[in-house]
Chain A
Amino acid sequence: MLTKQYDPLKGKILEVLDYKGKIVNEKLEPKIDDETLLKMYKTMVLGRIADVKALQYQRQGRMLTYAPIKGQEAAQVGVIAALEKQDWMVPAFREMAGMLYKGASLKQLYLYWYGNEEGNHFDEDLRILPISVPIASQINHGAGVAYAAKVQKKEEVAVAYVGDGGTSHGEFHEGVNFAAVFDLPLIVIIQNNQWAISTPREVQTKAETLAQKAVAYGIQGIQVDGNDPLAMYIAVQEARKRAIKGEGPTIIEALTYRLGPHTTSDDPTIYRKDEDVAYWEERDPIIRFKQYLIDKKLWTEKDDEKYNKETTDFVNKTFKEVEKTGLIELDEVFKYTFETMTKDVAEQLADYKEYLKEAK
């Protein structure tokens, strides 16, 4: 069992690819078909380009507050790639690349950061819960989804995301504990990107690792090189098997780094050093995964150039479509409070329309 071999209490970290893209542990290299490997890579690159572009658009005043994913693509894509279609993704808010892999369209994901509720209006088939801004609260939702899967004997797992900061929250503890008590098929992915806005990981917990919290819950936990998509993949694959067999939840701590600002409102130069960023830039998940695919003869620099160009065009085109959506209609913002609008709210809407007519 990987969680035994890579005991977080012994400071072990699961890795398959080193930061240059070389296999460090051949026995662990997963047998992933070529098509899936390419889909993983392409989604990571799409996520990256969409991320860099989103920041640019925001700086141009065309996009609203946006939470960058740069540097965390493997911790997202490596996870979703190891799931089945029927599994549930329970995001926090910094998982754009994972959501893309799960099947959300870029247009829709952009709409969220464009300030439009459409951005959370996923098809039920996608099994993506809406973005959850209140930190760690979604862990409990994941526990509930997993409970429902278990009692209805559905072969599904829930994968809930949280950040390093989020592990300090009562909601994290309560959700993981709940899932542990009932051996629920929940996989908790902690994207430990070292920072919660300006607050470093050390301020969140005295524990050496976040993965070791699993020990106290009586479940499995593992620390993984979160910038290694293959390591993330195998960790999730094993956790999923356990979950489906009724052996309970797993905590997977993905060691990664937020290369960008917390959000577009944040200035990371206040609280972190350029050297740290440079160190992690070298460990960029995309660099190593590309090398791995090139070494496997699945990809070439030329393919890469072409794909980057196509993807940039696609992202630009998508954003233009997003911009065409403009403002939201009045009726739309009143429509979803209840299935049937209450009489009082209907009156509020009617009065407001009356005002708009008179004001013209």
Chain B
Amino acid sequence: MPVETILSAITNTLDEQMAKDDTIVVFGEDVGFEGGVFRATKGLQQKYGKERSFDSPLAESAIIGSAVGMAVNGLKPVPEIQFQGFVLPAFNQIVAHVARYRTRTKGTYSLPMVIRMPYGGGIRALEHHSESLESLFAHIPGLKVVIPSTPYDAKGLLTSALQDPDPVLFFEPKRIYRAFKQEIPDKEFKVPLGKAKVVKKGTDITVVAWGALVREVEKAIKLLGDDINVELIDLRTIQPYDKDTLVESVKKTGRFLVVHEAYKSFGPGAELISTINEKAFLYLEAPPTRLSGFDITVPLPKGEHHFIITPERIAHEIKKVVNF
């Protein structure tokens, strides 16, 4: 089995699916010739030609808006937004059209497309290169939001996304693009959308995370040693998220902590905790809790350490919830 990083798994999955489905087109700023600033689409133009992998003019609204038209007319667009911080000029297209076309046309046009973009902090980058904006999109009916945390899931989820009948936003945790490798099957496989993964079984507390923070929680679990038996869930799909797995887990552990980089107020944690309150209230032994980014603009690198959620802080928070 080939050994892949998240990044190489994405490239190879695009390659595999483009070979199989000649309606797939990848494009965006610097996507074609050089294969994107992170090289996620490297080699695809050379292999599939300039019509199926190309550099777009610098305009996010055009990138997503044209994807709408392509999807209507028989292509399967896979636009890349260079960094999540730069999706905002396309917010109108995504929210006003991508999310609504199926509804608006009563299903005549469903806009199957995958909008890829790197997201998240911790890479000591310039302004607008560190945010986690998943809740902005997960809030909108009609958008699926997917975030892998391993090379295996990157391939499996991306394959599912590319074969999904509806538009999928695929957020790639760039901090761990190349952080570690994993053996993954060479042939096609799918990880279903909307299905969380129990990364580690446990009995004392349910901790939910996604993207780069899954590994941080794993580190926190190591720090805690044998004292606390954590059940770790990787949410993987933010919308529609896997309520059943969360609720089942909390019914067993009685405690719930969600950890995310996104800002706190009206963030993803608020949604998950509401669900826990609604569906597992009588099982709770401590208030369901969130550990999240603060409600401040992500600081530039020399102050970013205050914002980044460390394994130590996660461990501390887990102890607090367990010892409530």
Binding site for B on A (CB under 8 A): 64-65, 114-117, 119, 131, 133-137, 165-166, 168-171, 196-199, 203-205, 265-266, 270-271, 325-330, 332-334, 337, 342, 344-345, 348-349, 352, 355, 358-359
Contacts and interface: CB of A to CB of B under 8 A. Distances in A.
Contacts of A329: 303
Nearest to A331: B306
Interface in B78-128: 85-86, 88-89, 124-128
B307 A333 contact: yes
B20 interface: no
Given A270-B33, A326-B302, 15 more contacts: A116-B303, A117-B300, A135-B86, A168-B62, A170-B59, A170-B62, A171-B89, A197-B34, A199-B30, A328-B300, A329-B303, A330-B306, A334-B294, A337-B296, A348-B294
16 contacts: A64-B124, A117-B303, A119-B300, A133-B128, A170-B59, A196-B29, A198-B33, A199-B33, A205-B57, A266-B37, A327-B302, A328-B303, A332-B303, A334-B294, A345-B294, A359-B312
A359 B316 CA distance: 8
Contacts of B89: 134, 137, 169-171
B300 A115 contact: yes
A327 B37 CA distance: 28
Of A136, A166, A203, A344, which is in contact with the most chain B CB atoms at under 10 Å from its CB?
A203
A84 to B, nearest CB: 30
Interface of B: 29-30, 33-34, 37, 55-59, 61-62, 85-86, 88-89, 124-129, 264-265, 294-297, 299-307, 312-313, 316
Contact of A134 (B128, B301, B303, B306): B128
Contacts of A325: 302
A337 B126 contact: no
Contact of A115 (B56, B59, B124): B124
Contacts of A117: 299-300, 303
Contact of B296 (A64, A119, A345): A345
A337 B293 CA distance: 14
Contacts of B29: 196-197, 199
A352 B292 CA distance: 11
Contacts of A327: 302-303, 305
A299 B133 CA distance: 54
A345 B301 CA distance: 21
A355 B37 CA distance: 38
Contacts of B307: 333
B303 to A, nearest CB: 3
B303 A337 contact: no
A328 B299 contact: yes
Contacts of B301: 64, 115
A170 B61 contact: yes
Nearest to B298: A333
A133 B57 contact: no
Contact of A355 (B88, B264, B316): B316
